[in-house]
Chains A and B, each alone.
Chain A
Amino acid sequence: MTDPEKYARADEDILKAMEKPGRAYLLGLGVTASLAVGGGLLWAYQIRNGLGVAGYTHPVNWAVYITNFVFWVGIAHSGTLISAVLYLFHARYRTSFNRPAEAMTVFALMVAGLFPLIHLGRSWVFYYLIPYPTERQLWVNFRSPLIWDVFAVGTYFTVSAVFFYVGMIPDLAIARRRREGIRKTIYAVLSLGWRGTGRQWRHYNMLYLFLASFATPLVASVHSVVSWDFAMSLLPGWHTTIFAPYFVAGAIFSGTAMVITLVVPMRKTFNLYRYITDDHFESIAKILLLTSLIVSYAYVIEFGLAWYSGNIFETELFRYRALGHYKVFFWIMVACNSIIPLTLFAMRLRRNIPYLLIVSLLVNVGMWLERFVIIVSSLSRDYDPYAWNALIYRPTYVEVGITLGAFGMFFMLYLLFVKTLPLLSISEIKEHL
């Protein structure tokens, strides 16, 4: 097959995904969209009746919503890692994953960004968190990690969205070429008059390289800042210097798992075996394994320091975390994040795609529980024993519904993405054909 034929077939294969949706797709879209709408309605209910409708048991003032926030920010991480960092390292296998991963980043951030608002006592004055000029000279507190968060997540979302869009411009031009009618017009506008001239490619590559270098430090910084939401506090179990690297590794770990979760079914559905091979999955699995080891190391260090320091508050907290009310979640977390991924040392398992999918799903569960355990168990046992939580925090249907709504929203956006935008980076794939 000649190159032009190969290129044409790649265009055909990848853009085929954007054809008229089947019944299964519409069903999936219906389910996810109703989850998202249901979550929205529950949020409205919560705004009307106050946060009391959630299951908070003081002093557990943060719970599922913040867990979801950290979880989705974490998911968002692998997008940048795969697109930007691996781009700079010239890792070839990235081309098969970068578009889905970038889309995932943008959507995950859209979901993540909602949770700090959902969790606010008075969501209707959320804009107090943004520094804007007022006649009363009110300003935000730059000492508060929550303000750092606003900036970190805001920056990250902007950069990821731009990066996602810029990377897509040549592919949008291909879509423009192959579509008719109103869609052609839309793609024409979106592709910004891309014609694929040498000059355009030169500028494009410079911009892409620049954005990649700009986004790379964000991989480390954003989740470090998110971790400081906890580490900057006084709370035993949160107040730890290891949190930044620990959270960054955890974010990449969970993000990578989510990429696998999304790409495996996508490859099967759209028959993209030619472009996404088992070799690619194996490379991603290695990242998963590495980050799992880092995260496990952090778990050990946390307990080790609590024991070694002899600090009465820390010791009690970590005893409680492993043996207290939330011990079941803790041990599921250890199994999912530290023990099961160890099996990926075996090459056979690494290349076994169904197995890999199961591991990635378990890692998603484990990482969600990790955040839950860190947040809820630490809050339950702090300094004053009178205030210790004698009750077990249980999420109410509102929290469960909003959490499911978030998943619904994420997958709904993803489903819309696969039908409307080129789901793999065609131009980059062509480079490697």
Chain B
Amino acid sequence: MNRRSFLRFLGWISGSTVMTACGKRDSRPKLTSYLLPPEEGIVPGEARYLPTTCTECPAGCGGLAKLREGRPVKLEGIPGHPVSDGGLCVRGQSSLYRLYHPERLRSPMVRNGGKHQRMTWEKAFSLAAEALKESRERGHRNFFLSGRTTGTLSALIDTFCGRLGILRLPEFEVYAHSAVKEANGLLFGKRDVPHYRIEEADFLLTVGADILETHVTPVAYTRKISRAKSRGDFLWFHVEPHFSLTGANADRRFAVAPGGERYLLAFLLREVVEKRASKSRPPREFMDVFPPSPAEEVSRSAGIPVEALREIGDRLVAAKRPLVIVGGVSAAHQGGLEAAVSAALMQWATGAIPERVDFARSENYRSVGTFRDVEELSARMGRGEAGVVFLLRTNPVFSLPQRFAFRENLKKAKLSVGMGDFLDETLREADLVLPLSHSLESWGDAEPRRGVVSLLQPMLPPLHDTLSDGDALLGLLRKASGEGPAGSYKNHLFEAWGKRLGDSGRSKLLEQGYVEATPPGKAIPPNWKKAASVLKDTGPAGEVAKPVLVLASSLRTFDGRSRSLPLLSEIPDPLTTITYGPWISVTPDMAKRSGLEDGDEVTIASSDWKVVLPVKVQPYLPEGVFVVHRDALESPPVRMQARTGEPVEYIEGVSFAKTGRQAALPILSGSFSQQGRGIIPDPAHLDESRRHKRWTLYPEHEHKDYRWGMAIDLDLCNGCSACVAACHVENNVPAAGKADHLKGREMSWLRIEPFYEKGEVEFLPMLCQHCDNAPCETVCPVFAAYHNPEGLNVQVYARCVGTRYCSNNCPYKVRRFNWRQHGWPEPQRLMLNPDVNAREVGVMEKCTFCIQRIRAAKDKAKDESRKVRDGEFTTACAQSCPTGALVFGNLLDAESRVSRLARSGRAYRVFESIGTEPSIHYLRGKHPGRKT
């Protein structure tokens, strides 16, 4: 090589080196930590927890939002909160998806022709103010309709309506519990849903009330049931016309004919009154009017076998502290009022008021109206009386029957102002759309139960051009009336809290997120005259025409309001394991007769309405009943109870026909039977499996300080799937979508397996078992799956090449492969947990026992020169579990809760005979001392 060619080469080499360094500047975003935090309270890399209140449903559970770098990345329950006591349900866990939803309303909009046009808040307020003025001049009535509001916001709405001359209508909720409220109003003069203290009862009879799914305050009820079970003498019977998750979890479940509840409850009332030794007896006048009916006759009209009737009756009579709860579909029919009245009288006769049925702390449903109120509103709008109609966080167009013509009548209003967060069915019809902030972006409070004030506070500035409910109303008030309280809604709130709670109460509220007053309960005698007038004609009445389509509430979407949250479609319905619905549940007999299989499409029709849905065969569903979740039907043709205004959640005498088509219905379970494999073993199985002792060629793993493990109590687990949602959010588990689910490619690290056996359903949470002899570890060619010194099976994403052998070799099939690159649409990316990797295409992932939480706890312990204490932290799933079925901890610590449970006689491990030595101990069988 001569000098010239050497220089030429040198030029080439340095030139190409420089060239490769060129590129788009932002092609690789840099992660730089703050030198100076932009705001007070933001410490880079450290989580901050602020209390809030969940607003996904009216229950108002307390939540702790975990903030990282100034944005919420996870919601958890607040331990000790008077409503939820640390639990949070599947909807609550998913509600972060509402905050970061890509389809959220981003600015005020006005309808121009068929389209919505963006505008500023200022203009929107002027538009509404002018319309109000014009409407006043022309003598139109203005209306305000909202979903259930409580606390200061409710008071502000009153001020708003009062000052502007707007008629505030009773609030609209599908699940307004009108029949129960009506009954309590008649009997005790309290139109309320009382607070049920289930934990005090030794016998619980629920009739139709889906207390684990949507009924009033499901997390609270779930917690209470766990507490009652831990006492040892608790027994729970459930009666329902269909088959629900609540029914699946009761100790005994009885099917009642749709509409037959009133006969059953009247019979039980008579049994209780006649046989139970009690001081409280109804007067003779009442007993004379209230005719006795023989068990056989009741059995016929209620569709319950005589033995079952007697069994329930005997239990009610014998129990020391019985409690009866009627609600849900069993109150939502023509005889709902009778059923509710009988139940309320039973509460009185068994002495449940006020110990177990507390009206002083009633669930705050008094402001909620009935279907009758919205029917009236619709009619008045239809007559052209309406000037400006405000609709705040409510979706009557979706929920009301077509018959009410709400959609059409809304158009006749001079101006309809829709306030909400999504362009839902109702807001789509509104002339003016005002986008509201998420509860995590706003100041506010809630009073879900009388005496409980729960805090809402902003965790981050609004992501879009939105205002909080209060600020929107205040702004509008100021614009329209030219006066009104100065300052922001925050000032208004602080003032209101100061007035109500005093300074110390306010500080307490801001600090712990809730305050609770304890008003004393007192016994109230029923109004016997009214009771008699309701119950006097409980003789056999017209039967409900079969087959009946029952509109059930949905664990995942409540009354349909949570439909738009992608995570809730991703998590399977626990009874059917269907993810992306809708579907209609059909009894096995009917399916057999009609030659139907899962996924076949059928047309369900009543006289003037029809719908086409795919079929899911649902074991244990009573004959003559179809079930569809309410979220599946837009404007279902429900009737209304004349006396209570409660909708009838049955559609009677439906016809059904096969369409001959098959719909793609993702059913995640491959088998609803255990196939005799003892996954949830009999006690006999238990002893046998303990005798297996495998020898191994490899040395035992040595654990120094910690060996993490989990105990899962199957008696407590009710399949509510809150853990699944918590895991998704905590660990950045993507939503795979329907197309992938149809190929079995779900991504969830944790699943609830339902097994139908011997008339019962049992739920088994299945997650990585963190085996001591893990089959996945030995087959990984690159040590991407390895055993860490604390007993975890760790997956190193960066090392994984994607052979998928680990998944093949996993007997529990809990590993998830990234079949494609999963995306996070903006701004959903903001909710990714920065402590957890977002996995790339082609790698395997699985449960890590929330290793990021373990690390954080260990770091903290190390700072304080100690070991991690038991219960100091827990995994996301265990944290969220409303039943307390999941217990996480250190198995090396003999005193930890988990190791005590693992050593208890109830513990077993799944597929013990394979010799994998899992770290997850399932607890089988009833609690010690519990009767069956």
**Chain A residues within 8 Å of B, Cβ to Cβ:** 49-52, 55-62, 116, 119-122, 125-126, 128-129, 138-141, 143-147, 150, 232-235, 312-313, 316, 379, 382-391
Q: CA–CA, A61 to B842, complex, Å?
A: 12
Q: CA–CA, A245 to B674, complex, Å?
A: 35
Is there contact, CB below 8 Å, between B671 and A141? no
Q: Of A62, A150, A385, which is in contact with the most chain B CB atoms at under 10 Å from its CB? A: A385
Cβ of B742 under 8 Å from chain A: yes
Is there contact, CB below 8 Å, between A233 and B779? yes
Q: CA–CA, A278 to B799, complex, Å?
A: 55
Is there contact, CB below 8 Å, between B667 and A146? no
Q: CA–CA, A336 to B742, complex, Å?
A: 33
- Chain A binding surface, main DSSP class: loop
Cβ of B669 under 8 Å from chain A: yes
**Partner among A121, A141, A234 whose Cβ is within 8 Å of the Cβ of B783:** A141
Q: CA–CA, A124 to B911, complex, Å?
A: 37
* Across-interface contacts of A387 in B (CB, < 8 A): 670, 812-813
Cβ of B802 under 8 Å from chain A: yes
Q: CA–CA, A62 to B679, complex, Å?
A: 26
Is there contact, CB below 8 Å, between A56 and B745? yes
**Partner among A52, A60, A129 whose Cβ is within 8 Å of the Cβ of B782:** A129
Segment of B215-223, B412-420, B421-429, B817-825 engaged in the interface with chain A: B817-825
* Across-interface contacts of B808 in A (CB, < 8 A): 59, 61-62, 233, 235, 379
Is there contact, CB below 8 Å, between B802 and A144? no
Is there contact, CB below 8 Å, between B812 and A52? no
Q: CA–CA, A143 to B910, complex, Å?
A: 25
Is there contact, CB below 8 Å, between A57 and B745? yes
A-B Cβ contacts below 8 A, count: 167
* Across-interface contacts of B817 in A (CB, < 8 A): 51, 58, 61, 121
Q: CA–CA, A388 to B207, complex, Å?
A: 36
Is there contact, CB below 8 Å, between A51 and B670? no
A-B complex: 10 closest residue pairs judged by Cβ atoms = A121-B802, A388-B670, A121-B842, A52-B819, A385-B671, A387-B813, A50-B820, A61-B804, A122-B842, A146-B781
Q: CA–CA, A61 to B802, complex, Å?
A: 10
**Partner among A56, A57, A121, A234 whose Cβ is within 8 Å of the Cβ of B841:** A121
Cβ of B857 under 8 Å from chain A: no
Is there contact, CB below 8 Å, between B744 and A57? yes
* Across-interface contacts of A57 in B (CB, < 8 A): 743-745
Is there contact, CB below 8 Å, between A121 and B801? yes
Is there contact, CB below 8 Å, between A62 and B775? no
**Chain B's nearest CB lies how many Å from the CB of A139?**
7
Contact sample, A vs B, 20 pairs, CB 8 Å cutoff: A116-B803, A120-B801, A120-B842, A122-B800, A138-B783, A140-B781, A141-B780, A141-B782, A141-B783, A144-B780, A146-B779, A146-B803, A234-B914, A383-B813, A384-B679, A385-B670, A386-B669, A386-B766, A387-B812, A389-B670
Is there contact, CB below 8 Å, between B674 and A385? yes
Is there contact, CB below 8 Å, between B812 and A235? no
* Across-interface contacts of B667 in A (CB, < 8 A): 390
Within 8 A of A (CB), among B779-832: 779-783, 799-805, 807-809, 811-813, 817-821
Contact of A143 with B674 at beta-carbon distance under 8 Å, contacts A61-B808, A389-B744 already known: no
Q: CA–CA, A23 to B811, complex, Å?
A: 56
Contact of A58 with B781 at beta-carbon distance under 8 Å, contacts A121-B844, A384-B811 already known: no
Contact of A51 with B780 at beta-carbon distance under 8 Å, contacts A56-B819, A121-B844, A122-B843 already known: no
Contact of A385 with B675 at beta-carbon distance under 8 Å, contacts A57-B745, A59-B813, A390-B667 already known: yes
* Across-interface contacts of B821 in A (CB, < 8 A): 50
Is there contact, CB below 8 Å, between A312 and B676? yes
Within 8 A of A (CB), among B831-847: 840-844
Is there contact, CB below 8 Å, between A129 and B804? no
* Across-interface contacts of B668 in A (CB, < 8 A): 386
* Across-interface contacts of B804 in A (CB, < 8 A): 61-62, 121
Q: CA–CA, A120 to B818, complex, Å?
A: 12
* Across-interface contacts of A390 in B (CB, < 8 A): 667, 669-670, 744
Select from chain B the residue with minimum beta-carbon distance to A58: B744
**Partner among B781, B820, B842 whose Cβ is within 8 Å of the Cβ of A150:** B781
Cβ of B740 under 8 Å from chain A: yes
* Across-interface contacts of B819 in A (CB, < 8 A): 50-52, 56
* Across-interface contacts of B745 in A (CB, < 8 A): 52, 56-58
Select from chain B the residue with minimum beta-carbon distance to A47: B842
Select from chain B the residue with minimum beta-carbon distance to A143: B778
Q: CA–CA, A120 to B805, complex, Å?
A: 10
* Across-interface contacts of B743 in A (CB, < 8 A): 55-58, 391
Q: Of B744, B751, B911, which is in contact with the most chain A CB atoms at under 10 Å from its CB? A: B744
Select from chain A the residue with minimum beta-carbon distance to B844: A121
Is there contact, CB below 8 Å, between B671 and A52? no
Q: CA–CA, A382 to B677, complex, Å?
A: 11
**Chain B residues within 8 Å of A, Cβ to Cβ:** 577, 667-671, 673-677, 679, 740, 742-746, 751, 753, 766, 775, 778-783, 799-805, 807-809, 811-813, 817-821, 840-844, 910-911, 914
Is there contact, CB below 8 Å, between A385 and B673? yes
* Across-interface contacts of A62 in B (CB, < 8 A): 804-805, 808
**Chain A's nearest CB lies how many Å from the CB of B915?**
9
* Across-interface contacts of A141 in B (CB, < 8 A): 778, 780-783
Q: CA–CA, A87 to B779, complex, Å?
A: 37
Is there contact, CB below 8 Å, between B742 and A121? no
Q: Of A59, A145, A150, which is in contact with the most chain B CB atoms at under 10 Å from its CB? A: A59
Select from chain A the residue with minimum beta-carbon distance to B670: A388
Contact of A128 with B801 at beta-carbon distance under 8 Å, contacts A50-B818, A61-B817, A121-B841 already known: yes
Select from chain A the residue with minimum beta-carbon distance to B673: A385
Is there contact, CB below 8 Å, between B842 and A50? yes
Select from chain B the residue with minimum beta-carbon distance to A125: B801
Q: CA–CA, A170 to B544, complex, Å?
A: 96
Is there contact, CB below 8 Å, between B811 and A234? yes
Q: CA–CA, A105 to B751, complex, Å?
A: 47
* Across-interface contacts of A126 in B (CB, < 8 A): 801
Q: CA–CA, A116 to B801, complex, Å?
A: 11
Q: CA–CA, A36 to B808, complex, Å?
A: 30
Is there contact, CB below 8 Å, between A233 and B842? no
**Chain A's nearest CB lies how many Å from the CB of B843?**
6
Is there contact, CB below 8 Å, between A386 and B753? yes
Select from chain B the residue with minimum beta-carbon distance to A51: B819
Q: CA–CA, A37 to B615, complex, Å?
A: 45
**Partner among B677, B779, B802, B812 whose Cβ is within 8 Å of the Cβ of A122:** B802
**Partner among A129, A144, A145, A383 whose Cβ is within 8 Å of the Cβ of B812:** A383
Is there contact, CB below 8 Å, between B671 and A388? yes
**Chain A's nearest CB lies how many Å from the CB of B184?**
43
Q: CA–CA, A116 to B802, complex, Å?
A: 10
* Across-interface contacts of A385 in B (CB, < 8 A): 670-671, 673-675, 677, 679
* Across-interface contacts of B842 in A (CB, < 8 A): 50-51, 120-122
Q: CA–CA, A389 to B746, complex, Å?
A: 12
Select from chain A the residue with minimum beta-carbon distance to B698: A143
Is there contact, CB below 8 Å, between A234 and B775? yes
Select from chain B the residue with minimum beta-carbon distance to A380: B670
Q: CA–CA, A129 to B803, complex, Å?
A: 10
Is there contact, CB below 8 Å, between A384 and B782? no
* Across-interface contacts of B841 in A (CB, < 8 A): 50-51, 121-122
**Chain B's nearest CB lies how many Å from the CB of A59?**
5
Q: CA–CA, A139 to B229, complex, Å?
A: 52
* Across-interface contacts of B799 in A (CB, < 8 A): 128, 138
* Across-interface contacts of A386 in B (CB, < 8 A): 577, 668-671, 751, 753, 766, 813
Is there contact, CB below 8 Å, between B807 and A61? yes
Q: CA–CA, A233 to B669, complex, Å?
A: 24
Q: CA–CA, A139 to B796, complex, Å?
A: 14
* Across-interface contacts of B670 in A (CB, < 8 A): 385-390
Select from chain B the residue with minimum beta-carbon distance to A391: B744
Q: CA–CA, A384 to B745, complex, Å?
A: 16
Select from chain A the residue with minimum beta-carbon distance to B911: A383
Q: CA–CA, A315 to B843, complex, Å?
A: 33
Additional pairs, 4, CB under 8 Å, beyond known A141-B782, A388-B671: A50-B842, A52-B745, A58-B744, A391-B742
Q: CA–CA, A143 to B786, complex, Å?
A: 12
* Across-interface contacts of B679 in A (CB, < 8 A): 384-385
